[in-house]
Chain A
Amino acid sequence: MKIWLKIAVSIWLTGIIIAGIAFPMVKAPETWWQFPLIPGLEEKARNIIFHVPISWATVVAFIMAMVNGILYLRKKDIDYDLRSVSSAGLGLLLCVLATLTGAIWAKFNWGSFWNWDPRQTSIFILLLIYGAYFVLRSAIDEEERRATLSSVYSIIAGVTVPFFIFVMPRIMSGLHPGSLGDEQGKGPVLEFKMAPNMLIVFFASLIGFTALYFWMYSLKIRTMRIERQIQQQIEIN
């Protein structure tokens, strides 16, 4: 990533964190920096600016791992495997963060940390998939075989993701918006009923966290490449 892009992402995310935490929530917003107070959610609604973009970035990381897996199978270039595993590693980190922020939010809004709501179940499954992916990788010594098999596994796991995201919330009743039993839940993509200024911060946060993911991703790839070179140097000597 270019240096000016890094600076831009840092400033962008700092702005979002300030806006998300410090903008006051009032009953009748008057200026652009006041969020409306939603009954039932109150100050807890701020979490949407952090929790949802992190969950989104988790899915982006997973898709990137899968796409690079497919590219590895097509091109048989080990660099794609490095990209795939970098993305999966970041995805695991983001997945843990999404689970934690979600659990804390669930505790204060729904009463307990874990309710086996369909979306909580899906994020838990995603965590298991990432875990299984790394367990599989550690069970294979040979580099190319490890790359091939973990790519295949990420594809097999990837095709089941639509079942969690689109199918499970439809058949199980849940607490998240868009679940079965929620009158507003018409489709998998929610109809946002947020105040315009909050919506802007929310989408800015989505962009910001996605950019942050790509920044971390490029760093991770570079370290992985260097690690691999050092490993090869050691083996030669």
Chain B
Amino acid sequence: MTLLASYHIFVKEFVSEFRTRYALNALLMFVVTTLSIILFSIGHDSPTQEILSGTLWIVIFFSAMSGLSRTFVAEEERGTSLTLRLLTNSTSVYSGKLIYNFILILALSIIIAIAYLLLIKEFSVKTYSIFWLTIFLGSAGLASASTILAAIIAKANTKGTLFPVLAFPILLPLLLTCINATKLSVDGAFFSEAIKEFQILISFAIVMVTTSLLVFDFVWKD
């Protein structure tokens, strides 16, 4: 029952997004803008791989912030949150939104990563398995923490600026680990060397989703 309901929530998110394509278009433009700023500022210099793996995650983090903050704000603005509250339980709302956010941010990160690899010559990944697994697990972590925070800020007064402020300290262990793992992939480390990073990323996502499931009810029913 919950599974079916969360699937329906997911489909609803997807359909309502594709009707307007607001978030998708805005996000793609955001990615293009930030990437071109990075390209302009690099110019003819050749920055180190460490700096480049850092900037990759800066782009992913801020595009995730601007994309995912609207998850629940849109419900409040359109006044559809009451209907959702009547029709289904909070767990399925959370899991539906989480899966939608995860797929959105994963697609976005993959686009950013491909664009980054193509546009910046100095950034050459040697171990692709580490690189893509980091992108995958990093997106999972970003989505897991952002969904509950988006639910919190939807109830606050100043919605726009609050999201990155709340999210940054919570996502920092994730981002640092992701940057570390990306450095490993650039340095050409073996897959087994990055196991520790992946363990942290997986446990972060699991801890976040579990806690969110426990507390989401309070935020949603408030």
Main secondary structure of the interface of B (DSSP, over half): helix
How many A-B residue contacts, CB cutoff 8 Å? 89
Find chain B residues with CB under 8 A from A135 CB. Answer: 162, 165-166
* A21 at interface by CB-CB < 8 Å: no
Find chain A residues with CB under 8 A from B207 CB. Answer: 159-160
**Which of A128, A151, A156, A170 makes the CB contact (< 8 A) with B211?**
A156
Please tell me if the beta carbons of B157 and A156 are within 8 angstroms of each other in the complex.
no
Determine the distance from Cα of A139 to Cα of B149 in the docked complex, in whole angstroms.
14
Provide a sorted-by-A list of 24 A–B residue pairs whose CB atoms are within 8 angstroms. A125-B172, A125-B173, A128-B169, A129-B170, A131-B165, A132-B165, A132-B169, A135-B162, A135-B165, A136-B156, A139-B157, A144-B222, A149-B219, A152-B152, A156-B145, A156-B148, A159-B208, A160-B204, A163-B200, A164-B173, A168-B173, A168-B176, A171-B200, A172-B180
Taking CB atoms and an 8 Å cut-off, the chain A residues in 152-177 that contact chain B are 152-153, 155-157, 159-160, 163-164, 167-168, 170-172
* A140 at interface by CB-CB < 8 Å: yes
Determine the distance from Cα of A149 to Cα of B162 in the docked complex, in whole angstroms.
13
**B186-222 toward A: CB 8 Å interface, digit per residue (1/0)?**
0000000000110010001001100110010011001
State whether A139 and B162 are in contact (beta carbons under 8 Å apart), knowing that A148-B222, A156-B148, A159-B207 are contacts in the complex.
Answer: yes
**Residue in B closest to A135 when the chains form the complex, CB atoms:** B165
Find chain A residues with CB under 8 A from B197 CB. Answer: 171
Find chain B residues with CB under 8 A from A96 CB. Answer: none
Question: Besides A151-B218, A171-B177, 16 other CB < 8 A contacts?
Answer: A136-B162, A136-B166, A139-B162, A145-B222, A148-B218, A148-B219, A152-B218, A152-B219, A153-B166, A155-B215, A156-B149, A159-B208, A163-B200, A167-B200, A168-B173, A171-B197
* B8 at interface by CB-CB < 8 Å: no
* B20 at interface by CB-CB < 8 Å: no
B17 CB → nearest A CB, Å: 25
State whether A172 and B176 are in contact (beta carbons under 8 Å apart), knowing that A148-B222, A152-B218, A159-B207 are contacts in the complex.
Answer: yes
Find chain B residues with CB under 8 A from A145 CB. Answer: 155, 222
The 3 A-B residue pairs whose C-beta atoms are closest, nearest first, are A128-B169, A163-B173, A139-B156
**B149-170 toward A: CB 8 Å interface, digit per residue (1/0)?**
1001001111000100110111
Taking CB atoms and an 8 Å cut-off, the chain A residues in 175-206 that contact chain B are none
Find chain A residues with CB under 8 A from B200 CB. Answer: 163, 167, 171
Find chain A residues with CB under 8 A from B222 CB. Answer: 144-145, 148-149
Determine the distance from Cα of A156 to Cα of B214 in the docked complex, in whole angstroms.
10
Determine the distance from Cα of A92 to Cα of B99 in the docked complex, in whole angstroms.
35
Determine the distance from Cα of A146 to Cα of B188 in the docked complex, in whole angstroms.
48
**Residue in B closest to A140 when the chains form the complex, CB atoms:** B156
B50 CB → nearest A CB, Å: 13
Binding site for B on A (CB under 8 A): 73, 121, 125-126, 128-129, 131-132, 135-136, 139-141, 144-145, 148-149, 151-153, 155-157, 159-160, 163-164, 167-168, 170-172
Find chain A residues with CB under 8 A from B157 CB. Answer: 139-141
A67 CB → nearest B CB, Å: 14
Q: Which of B172, B177, B197 has the most CB of A within 10 A?
A: B172
Find chain B residues with CB under 8 A from A148 CB. Answer: 218-219, 222
Please tell me if the beta carbons of A159 and B218 are within 8 angstroms of each other in the complex.
no
Find chain A residues with CB under 8 A from B158 CB. Answer: 139
Determine the distance from Cα of A99 to Cα of B89 in the docked complex, in whole angstroms.
44
Find chain A residues with CB under 8 A from B215 CB. Answer: 73, 152, 155-156
Find chain A residues with CB under 8 A from B218 CB. Answer: 73, 148, 151-152
**Residue in A closest to B162 when the chains form the complex, CB atoms:** A139
**Residue in A closest to B222 when the chains form the complex, CB atoms:** A148
Please tell me if the beta carbons of B173 and A140 are within 8 angstroms of each other in the complex.
no
Please tell me if the beta carbons of A157 and B169 are within 8 angstroms of each other in the complex.
yes
B187 CB → nearest A CB, Å: 15
Find chain A residues with CB under 8 A from B211 CB. Answer: 155-156, 159
B46 CB → nearest A CB, Å: 24
